[in-house]
A and B are shown apart, each in its own frame.
Chain A
Amino acid sequence: DGGITQSPKYLFRKEGQNVTLSCEQNLNHDAMYWYRQDPGQGLRLIYYSQIVNDFQKGDIAEGYSVSREKKESFPLTVTSAQKNPTAFYLCASSMGQGSDIQYFGAGTRLSVL
């Protein structure tokens, strides 16, 4: 089955710790996106990548980092600089244009211990 796989489904972070959320797609999509979802806030864009080895900051990139070494993978690291990391994180992919349909993974819920 083609799709987007996010792992883990639940993740806990200790103070001062960096954690990495995985996102893998087998749709052969060029573009990938990371969103943060908080209750009542909708989806806010963290980072996105239109092509391998290139990525751009979204609206709330501070305290996060990404890499895009392979077309199918776009991991997100939540660093210790992100002081309020508790949220639901969604990864998406699309063919590559801003107008394209985005396909979403099932999400990772990150909580702070």
Chain B
Amino acid sequence: AQSVTQPDIHITVSEGASLELRCNYSYGATPYLFWYVQSPGQGLQLLLKYFSGDTLVQGIKGFEAEFKRSQSSFNLRKPSVHWSDAAEYFCAVGPWGDKIIFGKGTRLHILP
């Protein structure tokens, strides 16, 4: 069955440090992969997506993600985080029929 796992519920990094958020998936074919960000009390905003082609994907706000088929992973990275990056991050995979499946999210905390 298709699934998405975000192993880290919470991650804390210092401002200016690098960031990597993990996402692993189970899917029978080449998936479409997404990363979304959610600020407290708000909806989700798409950071980046992978459909095909180059496995290193650039997104908004300086984020990137790399699709690694052999590891069934799509980890999100940022070289230097800012206090405004504190939020919850969701990985998603599809299609699953007419739907996509979301992970349970990773909450990012930034230390000043």
Contacts and interface: CB of A to CB of B under 8 A. Distances in A.
Chain A interface bracket (under 10, 10 to 19, 20 to 34, 35 or more): 20 to 34
A98 to B, nearest CB: 3
Interface of A: 4, 6, 31, 33, 35, 40-43, 45, 48, 50, 56, 58, 88, 90, 92, 97-99, 101-107, 109
Interface of B: 9, 32, 34, 36, 41-46, 49, 51, 90, 94-100, 102-105
B99 A48 contact: yes
Contacts, number: 61
25 contacts: A4-B43, A35-B102, A40-B104, A42-B103, A43-B44, A48-B99, A50-B98, A56-B98, A88-B41, A90-B44, A92-B43, A97-B95, A98-B94, A98-B97, A98-B99, A99-B94, A99-B95, A101-B49, A102-B46, A102-B100, A103-B46, A104-B36, A106-B41, A107-B43, A109-B41
